[in-house]
Amino acid sequence: MKKILAPLIVFTFGLFLFSAFQFAFASSITQGEYAIKLAEKLGLGKDLSIDAAIAALTKVEIMPPDGFKPGDYMNPVIADEITQAAGKACGKGLLAPLSCKEVDAIVRSLNEELELSPPSAPTPPPPPPRHPASPAM
């Protein structure tokens, strides 16, 4: 019984961690749905289809390096790539009616709304206390 129980516990714990890891980093929105929301928020069209939204974003060079994969789910890494692409597109003047500050705010706001912001870096621990006998620096 013990020979079976230990591997079963390890397997169950691993499965739990795997599903929690995926949940923490995957979104419930697809790249196609994200493209629609972003294109509309940037004023690139209204009531867009997935293909039209991706085409509008691609025309102004806002896309992940590997292109949009409409059926794949969004994650913070892809959202960050799109944020960077939007900044570059704005810098080239491809989103002329909007300022770069506005574009950045729109993209970051959408990412936060959809919980696609990259996780913040952990705060480093404080330095160990100095030993009273050690010389002051």
* pLDDT single digits (tens) 31-75: 999 999 999 999 999 999 999 999 999 999 999 999 999 999 999
Of residues 12 and 66, more confidently modeled: 66
pLDDT above 60: residue 126? yes
Q: Who's near 55: CB < 8 A, 6+ residues apart? A: none
Beta bridge partners of 30: 73
Token duo for residue 6? 């230990």
For 120, what's the count of Cα atoms within 13 Å in the CB-facing half-sphere? Answer: 4
pLDDT of residue 12: 53
